[in-house]
């Protein structure tokens, strides 16, 4: 028995004592394969899942390395049954392999004939196969490559896709490293993707995922389709590519609600791809209307279901997913794994922070005491309206105004979910408000004024959650959100993590209504960032308003 910080249990839970001297080291070690479930004050609970272990396996971590980490940090002896289960679970990945065959085209092969026999007898999978070649090999209909991988994952036999990819139409693309240089982790991420052929790169907000995409494009040297969350993000991608690659304006097209350009590099929004006309998705043929050599999915954790369905049909194209977190609140992480590809590269947020590439951040939860009238209104609300009721109180508006004024002179973002609340905040603070209804041109103008420091405070809705580059933002005040979404918490913190010109850190305030469902949602939201090593300081709003807490310097 050692004095390690970890207790490993047979039900696949890992208990980490966060006050232990080795806790941070242990957290980093288990992060590639364990998911944080609960993070109260002293003991954090992680869980081992099949998908987590398979993602770790695909990223190059074998069962021996995972077991060694558990043995090294565990306080007590690790249950032998769990060690066997880890080894057998990770061994399932790649037992089945999709490969290209010179005569039969696409084949599924296995060194374990019994496993192949099992999947061949699955009723939903059987129609995807052609004739049996030998006891270990069967022909697969090429059009079923994606759907077969989805089905095999659900059966518990994730296939390793080694069938290769079409090159697509060649197009010269190179990085132009004049006054900048590709960072080591960016280069490793791009090369990790290229070696695997498809998959997901996980990097913190502000760590330069766009440049990983550009580096992958330079490796592919082919026509590229880039899918992004909105038009503002599309234009940021375009500007970065023009600045740091050999691409010219004539080579980059925008495919959005306002433009329909198809060029060697085409940047399209998820919104336009999922727009229906006459009951059909009119623009999804963009995927196969051109001989793309590479498809990049920005913010892949937000991928809409229709795009998943079409992605199943283009498995011969190289696919790169970029994200700050693989967490999906809809539970569709398995679809990302099977259709975009497994995780190929991942770096903890704090590691990038230590290298100076993202700003250090302090996370502060401000507990707000509602007035008697607000508490009564909350208590009498219908269950489906309770979160909105407590998240949008005027008391929160008062606290948000106080905090924003205490940080006067700094670049402040006030972020929320509900448009009426944002309108009130904008009026109370006397600052511009950006929502989904704000015209694209006005959004871009306001964001630029904020970057230039001419506008010091912005009130923003969820349209600013993703892919918006605001380098000098140092303060975020979150007043409401999407019902405890972990991915949203990560993205919102990411708005203030760009490294500052003067080296300053950032502060992320979350206003939480005490003794309400808001407090429960807050605990869930914080899980992902706690997993990345961020701690939350909890302070009382009354102490701020009375002056007992000076909010630091």
Q: Model confidence over 141-165: pLDDT tens digits?
A: 999 999 999 999 999 999 999 999 9
| CATH of 96-162 given 2.40.50, 3.30.70, 3.30.780, 3.30.460 | 3.30.780
Strand partners, 48: 34
47-62 pLDDT per residue, tens: 999 999 999 998 889 9
- Does the pLDDT at position 277 exceed 70? yes
> What's the CATH architecture for 359-546?
3-Layer(aba) Sandwich (3.40)
Q: Give the separation between CA 394 and CA 362, rounded to whole angstroms.
A: 25
pLDDT bracket for residue 553 (50, 70, 90): very low
Show the CA angle centred on residue 40, arms to residues 381 and 391, nearest 5°: 25
pLDDT bracket for residue 2 (50, 70, 90): low
- Does the pLDDT at position 77 exceed 70? yes
Average confidence score pLDDT of the chain: 90
Q: CA torsion 84→86→89→90, rounded to 10°?
A: -120
Q: Is 344 helix (H, G, I), strand (E, B) or coil?
A: strand
Mean pLDDT within 346-350: 84
Answer for the pair 204, 358: CB distance below 8 angstroms, yes or no: yes
Least confident among 53-57, 123-127, 483-487, 490-494: 483-487
Total-model pTM? 0.87
Strand partners, 109: 97, 137
Q: Which of 504, 502, 500 is nearest to 206 (CA)?
A: 500
Mean pLDDT within 437-464: 90
Please give the residue that has the higher pLDDT: either 110 or 330: 110
Residues 6+ apart with CB under 8 A from 513: 368, 370, 378, 390, 391, 393, 395, 396, 519
Class of domain 184-352 as given by CATH: alpha beta
Query: What pLDDT sits at residue 484?
Result: 67
Query: What pLDDT sits at residue 265?
Result: 97
Least confident among 44-48, 253-257, 370-374, 487-491: 487-491
User: CA separation (Å) from 392 to 212, 508, 512?
Assistant: 39, 19, 10
For the chain, domain boundaries: 6-92, 96-162, 184-352, 359-546
Domain 359-546 in the same topology as domain 184-352: yes
Residues 6+ apart with CB under 8 A from 67: 78, 83, 86, 87
Query: What pLDDT sits at residue 341?
Result: 92
376-393 pLDDT per residue, tens: 999 999 999 999 999 999
Answer for the pair 226, 268: CB distance below 8 angstroms, yes or no: yes
pLDDT bracket for residue 550 (50, 70, 90): low
* pLDDT above 90: percentage of residues in the chain: 64
Please give the residue that has the higher pLDDT: either 337 or 326: 337
Sign of the dihedral defined by the CA atoms of residues 481, 485, 487, 493, in that order: positive
């Amino acid at each position: 028995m050692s004095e390690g910080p970890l207790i490993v249990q047979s039900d696949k839970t890992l208990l980490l004592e966060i006050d232990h001297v080795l806790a941070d080291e242990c957290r980093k070690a288990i992060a590639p394969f364990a998911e944080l479930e609960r993070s109260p004050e002293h003991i954090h609970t992680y869980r081992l899942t099949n998908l987590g272990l398979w993602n770790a396996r695909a990223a190059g971590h074998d069962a021996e390395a995972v077991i060694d980490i558990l043995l090294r940090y565990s306080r007590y002896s690790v249950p032998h049954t769990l060690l066997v289960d880890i080894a057998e679970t990770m061994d399932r990945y790649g037992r089945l392999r999709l490969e290209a065959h010179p005569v039969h085209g696409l084949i599924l092969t296995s060194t374990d004939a019994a496993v192949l026999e099992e999947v061949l007898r699955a009723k939903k999978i059987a129609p995807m196969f052609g004739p049996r070649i030998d006891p270990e090999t069967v022909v697969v209909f090429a059009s079923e490559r994606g759907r077969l991988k989805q089905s095999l994952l659900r059966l518990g036999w994730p296939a390793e896709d080694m069938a290769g990819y079409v090159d697509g139409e060649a197009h010269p693309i190179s990085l132009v490293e004049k006054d900048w240089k590709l960072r080591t982790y960016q280069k490793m991420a791009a090369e990790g993707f290229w070696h695997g052929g498809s998959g997901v790169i996980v990097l913190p907000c502000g760590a330069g995922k766009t440049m990983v995409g550009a580096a992958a494009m330079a490796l592919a040297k082919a026509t590229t389709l880039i899918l992004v969350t909105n038009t503002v993000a599309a234009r940021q991608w375009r500007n970065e590519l023009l600045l740091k690659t050999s691409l010219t304006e004539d080579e980059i097209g925008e495919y959005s609600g306002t433009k329909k350009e198809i060029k060697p590099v085409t940047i399209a929004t998820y919104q336009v791809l999922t727009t229906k006309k006459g009951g059909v998705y009119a623009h999804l043929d963009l995927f196969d209307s051109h001989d793309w050599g590479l498809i990049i999915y920005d913010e892949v954790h937000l991928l809409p279901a229709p795009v998943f369905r079409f992605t199943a049909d283009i498995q011969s194209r190289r696919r790169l997913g970029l994200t700050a977190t693989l967490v999906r609140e809809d539970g569709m992480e398995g679809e990302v794994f099977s259709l975009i590809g497994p995780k190929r590269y991942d770096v903890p947020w704090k590691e990038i922070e230590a290298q100076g590439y993202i700003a250090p951040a302090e996370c502060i939860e401000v507990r707000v005491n509602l007035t008697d009238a607000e508490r009564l209104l909350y208590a009498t609300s219908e269950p489906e309206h309770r979160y909105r009721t407590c998240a949008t109180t005027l008391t929160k508006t008062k606290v948000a105004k106080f905090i924003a004024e205490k940080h006067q002179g700094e670049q402040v973002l006030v972020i929320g979910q509900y448009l009426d609340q944002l309108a009130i905040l904008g009026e109370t603070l006397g600052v511009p408000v950006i929502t989904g209804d704000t015209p694209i041109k006005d959004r871009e103008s306001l964001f630029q004024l904020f970057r230039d420091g001419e506008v010091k405070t912005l009130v923003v809705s969820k349209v600013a959650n993703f892919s918006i580059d605001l380098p000098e933002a140092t303060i975020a005040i979150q007043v409401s959100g999407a019902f405890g979404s972990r991915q949203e918490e990560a993205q919102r913190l990411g708005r203030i993590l760009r490294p500052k010109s003067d080296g300053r850190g950032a502060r992320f305030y979350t206003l939480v209504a005490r003794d309400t469902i808001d407090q429960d949602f807050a605990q869930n939201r914080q899980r992902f960032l706690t997993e990345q090593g961020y701690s939350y300081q909890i302070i009382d709003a009354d102490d701020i308003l009375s002056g007992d807490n000076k909010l630091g310097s």
